[in-house]
Amino acid sequence: MVLDMNDVEGLRQGDRSCFENIFNEYSPDLYVVAYRITGNKSMAEDIVQDFFVKLWVNREKLSIYKSFRYYCFSAIHYASLNAVRTKYRNTELSEELEDTFSIEREMEQAELSEKIRSALDSLPEKCRIIFLEACVEEHSYLEIAQKYDLSVNTVKVQVSKAYRILREKLTREQLFIFFLIFLKSE
Amino acid sequence: MDEKRLNMDILKEVLHGKRPHNDTLFLKWLDESGEHQRLYEEALTRAARDLYIKESFDRKGVWNKVLNETSKHDRVRFMRRRFMRYAAVMLPFVAMVAWWLLNTGDAGQKVIVAANEDNIVLYLSNGEKVNISQLDTTGMLESNGMKIVMNGGRDQIVYENQNNTSDELIYNTLSIPTRAEYCLTLGDGTKVWLAATSKLRYPVHFVGDCREVYLEGEAFFDVARDTTKPFIVKCDDFSVKALGTSFDVSCYDDDEYALATLASGKIEVTLGEEKRILTPGEQAMIREKTLVVKEVNILPYTSWMEDRLYFFNEKLESIMKRISRWYGMEVCYAHPGIQELHFTGNVPKYTDIKKVFDMLEFATHLDFSLEKGKVVISQKKE
């Protein structure tokens, strides 16, 4: 994360530009967490909005005991759970959500999703579209085959091609990161 | 079981960047089963799906709402802070006004209830001590033939010139205790208001080319005009000369300084060789053999004989001296420095001292605790 503690310190002192930096840096990931729990775009956006308003209002009383990132993720995690509880009173929440460790999993997941971004962009266009439709939007291979006038087998091949390329790209990106770390430690 | 956990750990390490995606151990793990392949692909899909979700986030819209909400909050907070700042600045004034307002209720209550006028003593020229409550309209004769009568029910001592009055210069002394004051009309018609714990020695009948009186304490003089005979108030080490004018002289021996304050006309203050002429609104301060003249608010010095004691940006020490001279008690300060605080306001004279302190406590940050004729002043505890 490019965010440094200066922004958090600036936030404490009421610097609005620091606050905006923090918002830009964290809000998309936090939105994803809220969306994953609530499964609802407007609920997730409300939760994120509410969190940042409270963050600003209580900036002077901010107490962080793990890390600022953990603070944000756990706040969103619990706010989302509460929102879901309020909305679907009689629904049992899955054990995974109730688990505090899932906050750390969410944080790791957010990192991974950023890493995969450029890898996804590097997929050949046809491959990427099929991968997204099949895996992200969860359309069946048959649907996709019919939509693009392809055989089901071609779709399967494209999807596995996408996974292979993603793995390769992720490897390269990781090496690049290792390289950076190596340079830094020199 | 252990093996399975180890296997899952490899996936985690890869996913979270602790092991490269082409790590030989990991590749071997992937090839082990279709299930492993599926778990890895699922993780990638999940990450990709997160990105997809992220795309749906209206970051700008949410930011604008956050901006809107927080600046609304900031405005409220700013207003509240500004109000508090104003309140902090205004507090002394508000307290002052409150003090003033609270005290105007019982004005005009000069029902000498509490006044100690029965204990005012007149010393005759022969040293005889007469309690003025013994004087009446029939009066008594002084050795020079002047008749001392009490006018209008103990209100005023008046010296009546008799036909056989001699020109002998004889003196009377009027002594005022605490919680009392007295308005005396001298032989020339000059009115003198004597403050509590004061003494005035004056000729029963003015003889010669000047009118001299001797003061200890405080008195306000409204001098009858006689340009041929200057009126001179003599204090311990200085004197105030006037022709026809009104002024206040305060020269208590337990004060650090003496004051002569001019209300109208003109006075000349003399300290040793030094002479200074004052114009109305000016005050001469005599302190350690030096004389300083400055402009002041004269209200506290010209109206103490009315129902209230007025203070204008005055040191607590001198405020308390005046209050204690009137109400008669000892004053102690719990912490040094308290007596240096300055206050403005007024206190009623004809009420219970406890009420006065209640008012002062209300209007200041001080605590007044009264016990057996002694008041201890301390800072209020938070």
Question: Cβ A112–B21 below 8 Å, yes or no?
Answer: no
Task: Express as a percent the part of chain A with pLDDT over 70.
Answer: 83
Put simply, whether A41 touches B (Cβ < 8 Å) is: yes
Radius of gyration over every alpha carbon of chain B, rounded to an integer in angstroms = 41
What is the residue-averaged pLDDT of chain B? 81
In 3D space, the residue among B250, B201, B353, B18 whose CA is nearest the CA of residue A112 turns out to be B18
Q: Is the pLDDT of residue B4 over 60?
A: no
Residue to test with chain A: of B53, B60, B65, B81, most A Cβ within 10 A: B53
Query: Which of these ranges, A86-95, B25-34, B284-293, has the smallest mean pLDDT?
Result: A86-95
Q: Which residues contact A54 (CB under 8 A, 6 or more apart)?
A: none
Residue B60: CB atoms within 10 A of its CB come to 8
Q: How crowded is the C-beta side of A137, counted as CA atoms within 13 Å?
A: 12
What is the residue-averaged pLDDT of chain A? 80
DSSP percent split of chain B into helix, strand, coil, nearest 5: 35, 35, 35
Q: Which residues contact A150 (CB under 8 A, 6 or more apart)?
A: A144
Chain B residues interacting with chain A (CB cutoff of 8 angstroms): 15-17, 20-22, 40-41, 43-54, 56-59, 61-63, 65-66, 69-70, 73
Phi and psi (nearest 5°) for B179? Answer: 55, 35
Min Cα separation A150/chain B (Å)? 22
Give the best-scoring range by mean pLDDT among A34-38, A47-51, B142-146, B221-225. A47-51
Q: Is the pLDDT of residue B78 over 90?
A: no
Min Cα separation A57/chain B (Å)? 7
Q: Residue A136 is nearest to which of B16, B17, B49, comparing CB atoms?
A: B49
Supply the ipTM of this predicted assembly.
Answer: 0.79
Q: Is the pLDDT of residue B292 over 80?
A: yes
Q: Residue A112 is nearest to which of B16, B52, B56, comparing CB atoms?
A: B16
CA distance B101 to B78: 31
Q: Is the pLDDT of residue B283 over 90?
A: yes
Roughly how many angstroms between the first and final C-alpha of chain A, as a whole number?
21
Predicted pLDDT of residue B348: 83
Q: Is the pLDDT of residue B123 over 60?
A: yes
Contacts with A112 from chain B: Cβ below 8 Å? 15-17, 43, 47, 50
pTM over 0.90: no
Q: Which residues contact B157 (CB under 8 A, 6 or more apart)?
A: B122, B132, B135, B148, B149, B150, B151, B174, B182, B184, B185
Q: Which CATH class is domain A5-93?
A: mainly alpha
Fold classification of A122-182 is: Arc Repressor Mutant, subunit A (1.10.10)
CA distance A132 to A123: 11
Residue at B145: amino acid letter: G
Q: What is the DSSP letter of B303?
A: S
Q: Is the pLDDT of residue B181 over 90?
A: no
Residue at B217: amino acid letter: G
Residues A162, A124 contacting (CB under 8 angstroms): no
DSSP string, B297-365: --HHHHSTTSSEEEEEEEEHHHHHHHHHHHHT-EEEESSTTGGG-EEEEEEESSS-HHHHHHHHHHHSS
- Residue range(s) occupied by CATH 1.10.10 in chain A: 122-182
Residue to test with chain A: of B15, B23, B40, B44, most A Cβ within 10 A: B44
Residues B92, B356 contacting (CB under 8 angstroms): no
**Per-residue pLDDT averaged across A90-104, rounded?**
62
Q: Which residues pair with B234 in a beta bridge?
A: B214, B239
Q: Is the pLDDT of residue A105 over 60?
A: yes
Question: Cβ B73–A57 below 8 Å, yes or no?
Answer: yes
Q: Is the pLDDT of residue B154 over 70?
A: no
Put simply, whether A129 touches B (Cβ < 8 Å) is: no
Question: Cβ B48–A116 below 8 Å, yes or no?
Answer: yes
In 3D space, the residue among B122, B143, B140 whose CA is nearest the CA of residue B131 turns out to be B122
- Residue range(s) occupied by CATH 1.10.1740.10 in chain A: 5-93
